[in-house]
Amino acid sequence: MHRLLKFFLIVLGAYVLLKLPGLFFGIPVPSSLVLLYLFFVAVVTLLVMTSTEASARSLFAPIVAIVEDPALVRRRNAIFAVLPVLAALVAYQVVLPDNEANIGFRAVHPAPPALMEAYGKSFDLTTLENPLRPVESTDPVRFARLVKEGGDIYYSNCLFCHGAKLDGRGHYAHALDPRPLTFQGVDTIAQLQESYVFWRIVKGGPGLPKQSGPWASSMPVWEAELSEEEVWKVILFIYDYTGNRPREWSR
Amino acid sequence: MNNFLKIALFGGLLILFFTLFSVYYVPDIGTDGSGKRAARVVLPIEEVGPVAYGEEVYYGRGGCAHCHDSAGGRAPLLDSVVALAPSRYGSAGYTGNATNVIGYLSESMTEPSVYVVDGYGTLLGKRIVSPMPDVSSGPISLDAVEIAAVIAYLQDMAGLEVTVEIPQAELSPDELLPVDIPKPASVTPKPIETEQSERKGP
Amino acid sequence: MGSSVNHSYSLLYNKRERVAFGGLWSSPASGALSLVLLLLTVLLFGLLTLPSAAYAVSSDGTSDTAASVTATAVTGDEGAKLKVPPTSFEAYEAQRASKKGRKKKGPPAPVLEAKDYPEVEGISPRVTVWLAAQMHLWFAAFVLAVPIFVLILEAIGMLTGDRRYDRTAYEFIRVSITAYSITAITGGLLLLSLIVFYPAVMGYMSSVFSSSMLGYGLLFFVESITLYIYYYGWGVMNDGGGLKRLHLLIGLLLNISGTALMFIANAWVTFMMSPAGVDKFGALKGGVFAAINNHLWHPMNLHRFVANIAYGGSIVGAYAAYKYLSSRTEASRAHYDWMGYTASFIAIGALLPIPFAGYWLTAEIYSYSQQMGITLMGGVFGWLFIVQAVLIGALFLAANYYLWCGMGRTEGGARYTRYIKYIAVVLVLSFLVWFTPHNLVLTATETSALGGQYHPWLKSLGLMPAKNTAVNIMVIFTYISFLLYRRAGKASTAPWAKQATAVEVGLFGAAIANILFLGVYYGYYTDNVYKVVSSVPQVLTTLVVIVGSLIIEWAIFRRSNTVGGFKWGRMPDRSQYALVLIAVSFTWLMGLMGFVRSAIRQNWHVYSIMKDASAEAYTPSIAYAARVVSVGTIIFMALIIFIFWLSSLGKRDEIEG
């Protein structure tokens, strides 16, 4: 195989390799990193290929031939016509306006306050527990009914953003930034105490603390819509549906 | 081409690459941009009250938010430290001698190792100590007023009533003795001056 | 080759060269200039040290509230009255005027206001001082470094009898004579700009350091004299015997005084970062040595000393590269190829320990002030280390490339070229880990796909254990490139050479496995305490494998035949650009890291003691700093080229002819 071709194949291969996680696992390597990675792969490949005299000469031979060989005049003209067009295309892509939001750093789970005022009383979030949780062990039949009621509340209120499967892919989800959180998996509600979830539901986006970075969360303040008991029931439901256990108090 | 020009061109392109990399690739974070920032004036505590003043100290001179911040994970978050304080100075691992919340907080700021939250200590010999510096000395050197104001801010952050007293008293010239910055038990009071401070919060 | 080199060698000492145009700079004229500058320096400091009007500015500085608000210290529950130190600047002044305060030796740091900073229309004080200081620092680093390895080269030359060393040494000391004058000029410029734009700061600094500044002047004098004797006495004292030894001794004295000079200047800089020996208000408590021997002094001394050697080597390498490319004879190509190799060897050799000196400095910064440390590593400047990683990676790649190309100096190198690509793969992988940031730059789409700021897979590469592992592996593989280069021209006659090589490969394999294990296991599967600690055994592993393989190599090739005819000068032209890259990257990197070191003080002149109240007290962004550093690098490079051009004028044809 020719060296120059090999060079392009190596760089292309690296590019494909870096794109695979995004395509197959939905976990893209950030484009800013891809750019940098590829740059250094290309540079080092060039260095290796020019480290001996023979290899360097054969690497550049086709380029030299294209520029100097009179027999290749057609190919030369074609290449010199295509290259500027390619450059123009790339430039066009770069300056094309898009609707990407500005880049910002944010914490997904900001720290809750110690005390919360809601429903005309004060909740101590450092010790608060779900009053309906004990039912799970004392009266399984009633617990199942509570979960069912929580499900009804969920599907008439939360579904539109958090999705029918509680995976954060509701009807409106794709228009929102930050995206509604999924409850599936082990790294969202499974990491949180029920009191934290209670706080997030009751106070919503506007209740987020200011030290937690730039927020534009569209989570409503459910205090106005749902009763205290309804919120606790929803919490029972989302843990039950996703098979997660709330985090216990350890501190 | 002349060798000299070639080398100069090569060097120039290299410098250009470094510059472009630093200017366009590296995100512009937290340095107040490249523009000029108007000198920030911290209002005296009498005008803004202890909570706002404490917040200024917390993000500014005290540098607390450098570590006690949800993004870094270097130190525990302080949102509920006021509520948790009784359980801490009541616990077995506690080595200080505070008996109330305010005492515990001011003690923790000047002697951070009396109670180290799980997972945040570093080993020093066989003892687990806190990596936090004493805020009343060294480059931070908060005085009693500032420490009290930070406590006020913490109480407010936890959603609790602000109960800390801001120290105030007369100083006669006789009391001005050339002593070094005192250790925890005696925190140096300092008048509140107009001063510049850089806010480094999230 | 020998005869032509010897011929040109003798020409080096002819009279024509000394009276040539270059003589304007490398002559007593520059000596006189330096002396005048020295005198000016001493005079200016003398003026500033007098208890002057610089402090008057503070008396009306602070606000009215200062005097009226007072306090008792209340801690815990008992409101006991405590003896407290003065709380305001006025009170402090009053106390100093009273009997008790008299034992303090120096004046306190003035509290500054915007009007204490003279303004000159259209000139930014910060950029002026910044560029002047940077320029002075680059030249000083060069001027300090060159005599160090000139001395080493001269000594090697005397011991081995190889005259190439002596000749190269002489060629460089001549360059450094001109650079010495420019160093003095930039130093004068720096001083002038500081006095013009920051008079109060200079007033305070000289009040603390007055005696050390006089010592600085004295050492400067000693350095100048020894330098001139060393340079002008080179030909006369080159008798190969007693006089040559005396000459070496003078060279040693020159280096000692130069290094001492740097140490004193370091003390001023580190005092501004980690003040010591002064009270809360900045007044000197006792002797000046307490202020000199501050927390960061020794880490800085070590870091700068090692970096200077690497820097000097890199500049000399670039010079050799240029001369190599413009050589027209075989002999001259051979000479400059050899010089480029030797210089880059010194540069890379000194580069390897710098990260560890840097760790020490950073650790000390952390232990002095957590706030300063975090500003440096995790705060505003966190991203700067990505820029640094890219530059250091470029240095490593250039060094490897130079060694790979160097295998072409002998036909025997062809036996090893096939290994290059494997080394390159490892280097690329380590390099990618080395500059992957923890906190990524993400677009909104990527953020929502990843569900947060951190990449689930790449986040672990952003942490210190991964970086330590990567850099150790990069060092080991660069070292393997070096070993292959050394083997290129040799074939061992020992019957057990194959087995010994196998042992060596095993050693490398074990070392790499150990480094990976330490990095991965202690970095990610244990708690915080071990994470940092694991970097020490990693470095030890690297050192052990380097020393171990050197011994084995020595044993294998103790009796060996040369293969393929090793020949200096048989290098492709493009390899020389690697040397240029090392010099340019080094210069730029020094500028950038110098900026950070200075900028982590944020809005303090003297950290925690003297606040910057000027309009430019804010911390500039990395992008802005990079632009200033680039401009500085270009000016510096232009000046360096000018110097080399000057010093070449007098001996235009000697090597070519």
Give the burial string for B130-166 (b: 16+ CB within 10 Å, else e).
bbbbbbbbbbbbbbbbbbbbbbbbbbbbbbbebebeb
Average pLDDT of the residues in C578-582: 94
pLDDT of C7 above 80: no
pLDDT of residue C22: 35
Average pLDDT of the residues in A19-44: 88
CB contact under 8 A, C279 and B178: yes
Which of A31, A40, A108 lies nearest to residue C428, judging by beta carbons? A40
pLDDT of C397 above 70: yes
The angle that helices A31-49 and A53-68 make with each other, rounded to 10 degrees, is: 100
Q: What is the pLDDT of residues C142-179, one digit of tens each?
A: 889 889 888 988 888 888 877 888 888 888 888 788 88
CB contact under 8 A, B158 and A213: no
Take residue A1 and report the two structure tokens written for it: 């195989």
CB contact under 8 A, B187 and C75: yes
Helices (H), chain A: 3-20, 31-49, 53-68, 73-95, 135-138, 140-157, 159-162, 194-203, 228-242
Chain C: touching chains (3 or more CB pairs < 8 Å): A, B
pLDDT band at A129; cut points 50, 70, 90: confident
CB contact under 8 A, A211 and B80: no
For residue C284, give the DSSP letter.
B
CB contact under 8 A, C453 and B71: yes
Is the CB of residue A21 less than 8 Å away from at least one CB of chain C? yes
Is the CB of residue A6 less than 8 Å away from at least one CB of chain C? no
Is the CB of residue B173 less than 8 Å away from at least one CB of chain A? no
CB contact under 8 A, A51 and C436: no
pLDDT of residue A231: 94
Chain B residues with beta carbon closer than 8 angstroms to that of A39: none
pLDDT of residue B9: 92
CB contact under 8 A, B70 and A116: no
Residue of C387, C405, C570 to mutate, testing the A interface (most A Cβ within 10 Å of its Cβ): C405
The angle that helices C163-197 and C125-160 make with each other, rounded to 10 degrees, is: 160
pLDDT of residue C630: 95
Q: Which of C74, C95, C75 is nearest to C85 (CA)?
A: C95
**DSSP-derived secondary structure for C446-515:** HHHHHTSSS-TTGGGGGSHHHHHHHHHHHHHHHHHHHHHHHHTTEEE--TTHHHHHHHHHHHHHHHHHHH
pLDDT band at B13; cut points 50, 70, 90: very high
pLDDT of residue C140: 92
CB contact under 8 A, A28 and C574: no
Task: Give the contacts of C57 (CB within 8 A, at least 6 positions apart).
Answer: C110, C112, C113, C115, C116, C200
For tokens 């910057």, the residue is C612
Note the ipTM here: 0.78
Gap between the Cα atoms of B91 and A143, Å rounded: 36
CB contact under 8 A, A113 and B201: no
The distance of B161 to chain C (nearest Cα, Å) reads 18
Is the CB of residue C426 less than 8 Å away from at least one CB of chain A? no
The distance of A224 to chain C (nearest Cα, Å) reads 29
Domains assigned to chain B:
38-166 (1.10.760.10)
Gap between the Cα atoms of C620 and C380, Å rounded: 10
Q: Please indicate whether residue C653 or residue C609 has the higher confidence score (pLDDT).
A: C609
CB contact under 8 A, C441 and A30: yes
CB contact under 8 A, B70 and A113: no
Chain C residues with beta carbon closer than 8 angstroms to that of B89: none
Chain A residues with beta carbon closer than 8 angstroms to that of B160: 114-115
Q: Please indicate whether residue C6 or residue C475 has the higher confidence score (pLDDT).
A: C475
CB contact under 8 A, B79 and A111: yes
Q: Please indicate whether residue C444 or residue B53 has the higher confidence score (pLDDT).
A: B53
pLDDT of residue C355: 79
Q: Give the count of Cβ contacts less than 8 A between chain A and B.
A: 52
Residue of C98, C621, C640 to mutate, testing the B interface (most B Cβ within 10 Å of its Cβ): C621
Is the CB of residue C495 less than 8 Å away from at least one CB of chain A? no
The distance of B99 to chain C (nearest Cα, Å) reads 9
Is the CB of residue C633 less than 8 Å away from at least one CB of chain B? yes
pLDDT of residue C38: 52
Chain A: touching chains (3 or more CB pairs < 8 Å): B, C
Average pLDDT of the residues in C188-202: 91
The distance of B72 to chain A (nearest Cα, Å) reads 10
For tokens 């393929």, the residue is C564
Q: What is the pLDDT of residues A197-241, one digit of tens each?
A: 998 899 888 877 654 455 567 888 898 889 999 999 999 999 999
Find out whether B192 and C69 touch, Cβ atoms under 8 Å.
yes
Q: Which of A199, A192, A184, A187 is nearest to A243 (CA)?
A: A184
CB contact under 8 A, C458 and A33: yes
Chain C residues with beta carbon closer than 8 angstroms to that of B182: 73, 82, 84-85
Is the CB of residue C427 less than 8 Å away from at least one CB of chain A? yes
pLDDT of residue C365: 85
For tokens 């954060």, the residue is A168
CB contact under 8 A, A32 and B25: yes
Which of A103, A113, A251 lies nearest to residue B27, judging by beta carbons? A103
Is the CB of residue C579 less than 8 Å away from at least one CB of chain B? no
Question: Which chain A residue shows the shortest CA-CA distance from C417?
Answer: A52
Least confident of A99-108, A209-218, C506-515: A99-108
Least confident of A87-91, B8-12, B69-73, C18-22: C18-22
Is the CB of residue A98 less than 8 Å away from at least one CB of chain C? no
What is chain B's length?
Answer: 202
3-class DSSP string for C463-481: CHHHHHHHHHHHHHHHHHH
pLDDT of A168 above 90: no
Take residue C234 and report the two structure tokens written for it: 């080179």
Find out whether B198 and B59 touch, Cβ atoms under 8 Å.
no
Q: Which of C49, C42, C51 is nearest to C206 (CA)?
A: C49
Cis peptide before A178 (omega within 30 of 0): yes
Q: Please indicate whether residue C30 or residue C591 has the higher confidence score (pLDDT).
A: C591
CB contact under 8 A, C382 and B29: yes
Cα C187 from chain centroid?
A: 17
Is the CB of residue B7 less than 8 Å away from at least one CB of chain C? yes
Gap between the Cα atoms of C387 and B18, Å rounded: 8
pLDDT band at C301; cut points 50, 70, 90: very high
Is the CB of residue B25 less than 8 Å away from at least one CB of chain A? yes
pLDDT of C141 above 60: yes
**Burial class of residue A91 (count of CB atoms within 10 Å of its CB; 0-12, 13-18, 19+):** exposed
The distance of A108 to chain B (nearest Cα, Å) reads 9
Chain C residues with beta carbon closer than 8 angstroms to that of B44: 65, 69
- Other C-beta atoms closer than 10 Å to the C-beta of A76 total 16
Using left for φ > 0, alpha for ψ between -120 and 50, and beta otherwise, residue C163 falls in: alpha
Is the CB of residue A44 less than 8 Å away from at least one CB of chain C? yes
The distance of B97 to chain C (nearest Cα, Å) reads 10
Domains assigned to chain A:
3-95 (no CATH), 115-242 (1.10.760)
Mean pLDDT of chain A: 84
CB contact under 8 A, A41 and C455: no
Gap between the Cα atoms of C338 and C651, Å rounded: 20
Mean pLDDT of chain B: 73
Question: Which chain A residue shows the shortest CA-CA distance from B78?
Answer: A111
Chain B residues with beta carbon closer than 8 angstroms to that of A212: 70, 202
The angle that helices C2-11 and C163-197 make with each other, rounded to 10 degrees, is: 40
Residue of B9, B15, B105, B132 to mutate, testing the C interface (most C Cβ within 10 Å of its Cβ): B15
Average pLDDT of the residues in C30-34: 51
CB contact under 8 A, A115 and B25: no
CA distances from A171 to A162, A222, A234, C449 (A): 8, 19, 19, 17
Three-state secondary-structure class, residue A123: strand
Is the CB of residue C628 less than 8 Å away from at least one CB of chain A? no
pLDDT of C184 above 80: yes
Helices (H), C614-656: 622-649
Average pLDDT of the residues in C579-602: 91
Distance between terminal CA atoms of chain B?
A: 53
pLDDT of C424 above 90: yes
Q: What is the pLDDT of residues B140-194, one digit of tens each?
A: 778 888 889 999 999 888 777 888 888 874 443 444 334 444 444 444 444 444 3
Which of A110, A126, A211 lies nearest to residue B84, judging by beta carbons? A126
The distance of B78 to chain A (nearest Cα, Å) reads 9
